Structure 1
Amino acid sequence: MFEKLESAIMVLGEKLNNNKILMVLRDSFMLAFPLTIFGSIMLVIANFPYLGKLIGEANLASLQNILGPASTATMSVTTIFVTLGIGYYLCKELGGEPIYGATVSFVAFLLLTPFEAPIEDTGNMLSSVLAIDRLGAKGMFIGMFAAFAAAYIYSTIVNKNWTIKMPPTVPPAVSKSFSALIPACLTLTIFLLLRAVFALTPWENAHDFVYQIIQAPLTNLGKGIVPTLIAIFAIQILWFFGLHGQIIVNSVMDPIWNTLTLENFNAFSAGQELTNVVTKQFMETFTVSLGGTGMTLVVVFSMLAFMKSKQLKEVGKLAAPAAIFNVNEPVIFGLPIVLNPMIVIPWVLAPMISTGVAYASMATGLVPMTTGVSVPWTVPVLLSGFLATNSIRGSILQLVQMAIVFVVWLPFLKALDKRNYQEEQDLDKSQGEELKEEAK
């Protein structure tokens, strides 16, 4: 039965891991990573706790005016980077010049975007503008759909050789531009027609249609505790069988988690109340940032401090430096955790309980929700909790989580340590007897 389960999970995991769509989506979100980190750093500086008391409210307001555009130009328009990334990476996979695939995908997204925005408190609309929220959280799903469709159509036309061929003497940049002309025009014509069709519907544009019918229901579902615990369970089980659970599950859930992150970010930037407990930062800061997948930092230090067997102490020594920065492959493969039935219960149970406690703490207001600021998953524990929530209570919550992991893991570590220690003692005794025999 165990072998059948292992086989089924391995097949499913491999299919998800090698799915081109999910790979493109993952790489596209990573394209925005350095930009959002820059915007997040500026936002953290501008909203550092008690900064107004240190430099004065007037100076703080000036500082926020100077640093504010950094987050607006990065975090608030993440959908732009995602559409560019999808077009680039999908055309790279399917055929066609990737840079033209990126620009066509972005323009296709713009063709479905309303060029008007409401004027606050008036009920009127301002024309010939792009609303920032449609380039960020609100436009995330329509941006992904448009980019995938445009890149696919563009690549298909290129692969059918419906292109203009230039003589070899023409400079490459000019030749590539002419080669992209027909595929780009045909692709964008389709999206222009789509814009006209949606204008005749009750939604009036594709953005509102996708947001109301698809994005809002999915994000509402994805931010609940039950789907979150299911995702944690899937990550742990996949890793138990040797598959990279984070990459596989995140490829599916990242669009939802990143959208929820942007909603919190926009609210935090505007000084409004945060609404989403589950975000990308929640899933990283209060799971991965406690020592890697499975929150194993406290497990590593427990092996060093409380275990007797040489094996566990050596694994602890080797794993500790990396675990501080939330890299825990030395534990996963050195303990080992992969396919180790003695470890599977705490491996799955501890992060689920710990994540449930973190969710409850934020849902009840004991700990602030994550602000949407991007905190790299390699940032050490306590510091990451503070940065993600802009509060010391985020760090305290991480300490509570580590205590939970310690309590869940300790009995199983003790049992494993006892077995290993006994085996080491028996081996030492056996080797001693062999040496005595040789001496005789």
Structure 2
Amino acid sequence: MSLTDKISAKLVPVAAKLNGQRHLTAIRDSFIVTMPLIMAASVFILLNALLFSNAAVNKIIDLSKLADLATMTNNATLGILAILVAYNIGINLATWYEANGNINSKAFTPNHAGGLSVCLMFLMMPIQTTVTLTSGKTAAVTGIYSQDLTSSSGLFLAMFAGILGTEIFVRLSKVEKLRIKMPDSVPPAVASTFNSLIPEVLVIIMVAIPIYLIKAFTGMSIPDIITIVIQTPLKGLVLSGVGMIVIQFISDTLWVFGLHGSSILSPITVAPQLESIQENMQAFAAHKTIPNIVNAPFLGSYGMLGGGGCVLALLIAIFLVSKRKEQKDIAKLAIGPSLFNIAEPVMFGLPVVMNPIFMIPTAIIPSINLSLAYMLTKIGILGKMVAISPWITPPVLQTWISTAGNIPATVFTILLLIMDILIYIPFVIASNKVNQSED
């Protein structure tokens, strides 16, 4: 057995198990649902910064009144992101239990789990919120929930509420004695509501009492505890230069063994990255200093040129130096999807997956790119990411959009692509020699 086979035998089962884990799957799928809303917010924030609130533009034509469009859009998308995630986690997790036969579907509706998740999320929030008045003074108010907890900053709270509430709810829903049985003539929607009534009430009571006691004896809210125990350490790992490289290398290593690394790791990476880009977008809209380097657009713009493993460079290298007809034929088929960051055709068609020669550069090139980009951004040569473009946006154009037209960052992406091609070329030549010896 080769070294590749030995590593695969150890790695693949573990990664596959993680990829199918019900809580991680529920979280990952909940984030995917929110992507269109995040992109919509990004578009309006860009328009606000470049047009509506741009002094030079407003000298020609006054668009300043349209700035409220960006605020409205932000409040309706990023501002409620955590609420949407909590709801979808509840639905996704409950659906998993229903699909796997863990609960009687006739007496259960996943929508109840989604609504309960949102309820618990707000139950965990502080009763009083400190707000800043227009006069500049601060005041403690009740009946108002901070957008810090309903936006991307509250994603960890949303995940905790969604998973905790649904797990308890599902278990209580299995207890026959807790169901209020209705006649068969009653519509299913009404019957499922009555079946869920007692379990939902019990879940709220079981969660509300400990929250009250924790606040009474420690003075801390659940969001305070989550920030200290989970959010701050995880954010420090995911958004640091070293943490970013380690996570990216793991992701690409999973890729070359046939597993979608970024999808598997998304439950731990997406929340900090969303918070990071939202902070950047808000700072950009307010014409303030951009705070964060690492986020999803940064990884996509520099570490996914053509998809996982920066395979667009591999395809170009094949066109330049490969003498194998089958490689060029596959490259012709894969170049179109790769221009839109879809790597599967080349990953499984060439293949790169389980290929001892191509696995090496595919696993390390994205980390090299991100290391260089991080250092140059850190010292101020490259602009930071301030918008989210669709992941299928072609390389270079994605950088230009995500940095709001930063020329150094855009040019640097082109240079990275050239460097990646040069790195791939020796491996393409080596693959030709191996194939010739086999012939």
TM-score when scaled to structure 1? 0.90
User: Counterpart of 1:145 in 2: which secondary structure?
Assistant: helix
Distance 1:136 1:54 in 2: 30
Contact 2:48 2:285 survives alignment (8 Å): no
Q: How many pairs align?
A: 422
Distance 1:132 1:251 in 2: 22
Change (3 A) 1:183 1:241: same
The aligned counterpart of 1:8 is 10
Shift of 1:353: 0.7
The aligned counterpart of 1:18 is 20
The aligned counterpart of 2:251 is 235
Aligned pairs for 1:36-55 (under 5 A) are 36-48=38-50, 52-55=55-58
Distance 1:415 1:176 in 2: 63
Shift of 1:231: 1.4
User: Counterpart of 1:64 in 2: which secondary structure?
Assistant: helix
Indicate which of 225, 229, 232 corresponds to 1:213: 229
The aligned counterpart of 2:266 is 250
Contact 1:358 1:401 survives alignment (8 Å): no
Indicate which of 378, 388, 401 corresponds to 1:363: 378
Contact 2:318 2:331 survives alignment (8 Å): yes
The aligned counterpart of 2:294 is 278
Instruction: Say whether 1:129 aligns with 2:114.
Output: no
Distance 1:156 1:140 in 2: 24
Contact 2:46 2:285 survives alignment (8 Å): no
Instruction: Say whether 1:383 aligns with 2:385.
Output: no
The aligned counterpart of 1:436 is none
Contact 2:44 2:69 survives alignment (8 Å): no
- Deviation string, structure 1 residues 234-269 (Cα, Å, up to 9, x no partner): 122212222222221223322332233333333334
Distance 1:220 1:80 in 2: 24
The aligned counterpart of 1:104 is 116
Contact 1:109 1:143 survives alignment (8 Å): yes
Indicate which of 352, 359, 362 corresponds to 1:337: 352
The aligned counterpart of 1:300 is 315
The aligned counterpart of 1:432 is none
Change (3 A) 1:89 1:348: same
Change (3 A) 1:177 1:270: farther
Structure 1 counterpart of 2:187, one-letter code: P
Distance 2:72 2:89 in 1: 25
The aligned counterpart of 1:437 is none
Distance 1:405 1:72 in 2: 40
User: Counterpart of 1:294 in 2: which secondary structure?
Assistant: helix
User: Counterpart of 1:124 in 2: which secondary structure?
Assistant: strand
Indicate which of 313, 321, 328 corresponds to 2:328: 313
The aligned counterpart of 1:28 is 30
Shift of 1:9: 0.5
Aligned pairs for 1:42-81 (under 5 A) are 42-48=44-50, 52-56=55-59, 59-81=62-84
Indicate which of 411, 417, 437 corresponds to 1:396: 411
TM-score when scaled to structure 2? 0.90
**Runs (5+) with no aligned partner, structure 1:** 428-440
Shift of 1:139: 1.7
Contact 2:130 2:138 survives alignment (8 Å): yes
The aligned counterpart of 2:90 is 87
For structure 1, which segment, 54-63 or 355-364, has the greater mean C-alpha deviation from structure 2 after superposition? 54-63
User: Counterpart of 1:378 in 2: which secondary structure?
Assistant: coil
Distance 2:75 2:331 in 1: 43
Contact 1:116 1:127 survives alignment (8 Å): yes
The aligned counterpart of 1:182 is 198
Contact 2:81 2:151 survives alignment (8 Å): yes
User: Counterpart of 1:119 in 2: which secondary structure?
Assistant: strand
Distance 1:68 1:181 in 2: 38
Change (3 A) 1:57 1:15: farther
Distance 1:7 1:419 in 2: 24
Identity of aligned residues (%): 26
Distance 1:268 1:75 in 2: 15
The aligned counterpart of 2:100 is none
Contact 1:83 1:144 survives alignment (8 Å): yes
Shift of 1:307: 2.8
Structure 2 counterpart of 1:181, one-letter code: L
Change (3 A) 1:414 1:4: closer
Contact 1:137 1:263 survives alignment (8 Å): no
Structure 2 counterpart of 1:7, one-letter code: A
Distance 1:140 1:356 in 2: 27
User: Counterpart of 1:154 in 2: which secondary structure?
Assistant: helix
Aligned pairs for 1:184-203 (under 5 A) are 184-203=200-219
Shift of 1:201: 4.0
Change (3 A) 1:215 1:181: same
**Runs (5+) with no aligned partner, structure 2:** 98-102
Distance 2:60 2:118 in 1: 40
- Deviation string, structure 1 residues 316-340 (Cα, Å, up to 9, x no partner): 2111111111112221122221121
User: Counterpart of 2:152 in 1: which secondary structure?
Assistant: coil
Change (3 A) 1:123 1:62: closer
RMSD across aligned C-alpha pairs, in angstroms?
Answer: 2.2
Distance 2:158 2:265 in 1: 21
